[in-house]
């Protein structure tokens, strides 16, 4: 999908491409992930959102090749946003996702008990600071959702309760529902879900 939009701050027209990533895009995705990783941010910077998931380049390539699981926005040849999505089988290497897999039966949503077949895990998502607040978050989120719709009816994610910006974006810019809360490793999380045929 090629988007033409008025840039929020300058009012000039900008062209952005939103599409599924290929392995050639890994370098750009890694750069954006690193720039938003909690390990690389000060406490003050973390107020603008942060991610905690660590991934090797090999894991990223596997997510792309096995699951078609990374949606990106590219502007002037640079990856300015990404959203990841993958099966629970894929994420099961990470301890936090092992915990979420264990908890799946406890978070019924719209009358359906999620499991590893009827749901998948979305996230992390990052938007480069230069294009935040312009609607790119919404467009990349929705394109990621669309890309998984034929495979799963339900999307699930977690949001760290010390990331209120991310909660605001996921509940106000797109309409994810807070289904409950859980704790892991001393952190408090919201459990979020939405149907993959959601429109907003």
Ligand X SMILES: CC(C)(COP(=O)(O)OP(=O)(O)OC[C@H]1O[C@@H](n2cnc3c(N)ncnc32)[C@H](O)[C@@H]1OP(=O)(O)O)[C@@H](O)C(=O)NCCC(=O)NCCS
Closest residue to ligand X, based on beta-carbon distance: 49
Residue span 147-166 as binding mask against ligand X, x where in contact by CB under 6 A, dash where not: ------------x---xxxx
Q: Is 168 in the site for ligand X (CB under 6 A)?
A: yes
On the 0-12 / 13-18 / 19+ scale of CB atoms within 10 A, 107 is middle
d(CA 34, CA 85): 18
Please, which residue, 90 or 167, has the CB nearer to ligand X?
A: 167
Q: 114: how many CB neighbours lie within 10 A of its CB?
A: 26
191 binds ligand X (CB under 6 A): no
Q: Is 31 in the site for ligand X (CB under 6 A)?
A: no
Q: Is 105 in the site for ligand X (CB under 6 A)?
A: no
Q: Would you count residue 55 as binding ligand X (CB under 6 A)?
A: no
Other CB atoms within 10 Å distance of the CB of residue 46:
15
Which of the stretches 42-50, 96-104, 177-185, 192-200 binds ligand X when contact is defined by CB under 6 A? Answer: 42-50
Give the H or E element holding residue 124.
strand 119-127
Task: Determine which residue in the list 173, 174, 195, 198 makes contact with ligand X, applying CB under 6 A.
Answer: 173
Q: Site map for ligand X, 58-97, x if CB under 6 A? A: ----------------------------------------
Q: Are 52 and 160 in contact (CB under 8 A)?
A: yes
Distance from first CA to last CA of the chain, Å, rounded? Answer: 17
Residue 19 bridge partners (DSSP): 72
At a CB cut-off of 8 Å and minimum separation 6, what does 45 contact? none
Applying CB under 6 A, what is the total number of residues that bind ligand X? 22
Candidate residues 29, 127, 156, 194; the one interacting with ligand X per rule CB under 6 A: 127
Residues linked to residue 85 through DSSP beta bridges, in sequence order: 122
User: Under the rule (CB under 6 A), what is the footprint of ligand X?
Assistant: 36, 47, 49-51, 123-127, 132-133, 137, 159, 163-166, 168-169, 172-173
């Amino acid at each position: 999908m090629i988007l033409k939009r008025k840039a929020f701050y300058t009012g000039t027209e900008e062209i952005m491409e939103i599409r599924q990533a290929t392995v050639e895009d890994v370098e750009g995705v890694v750069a954006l992930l690193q720039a938003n990783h909690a390990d690389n941010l000060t406490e003050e910077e973390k107020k603008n959102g942060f991610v905690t998931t660590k991934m090797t380049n090999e894991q990223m390539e596997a997510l792309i090749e096995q699951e078609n699981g990374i949606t990106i926005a590219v502007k002037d040849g640079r990856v300015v946003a990404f959203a990841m999505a993958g099966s629970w089988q894929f994420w099961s290497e990470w301890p936090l996702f092992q915990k979420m897999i264990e908890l799946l039966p406890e978070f019924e949503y719209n009358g359906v008990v999620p499991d590893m077949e009827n749901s998948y895990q979305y996230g992390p998502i990052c938007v480069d600071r230069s294009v935040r607040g312009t609607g790119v978050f919404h467009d990349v989120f929705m394109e990621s959702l669309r890309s998984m719709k034929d495979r799963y009816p339900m999307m699930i994610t977690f949001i760290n309760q010390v990331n209120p910006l991310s909660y605001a974006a996921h509940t106000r810019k797109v309409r994810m529902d807070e289904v409950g809360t859980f704790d892991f490793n001393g952190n408090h999380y919201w459990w979020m879900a939405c149907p993959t045929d959601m429109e907003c």
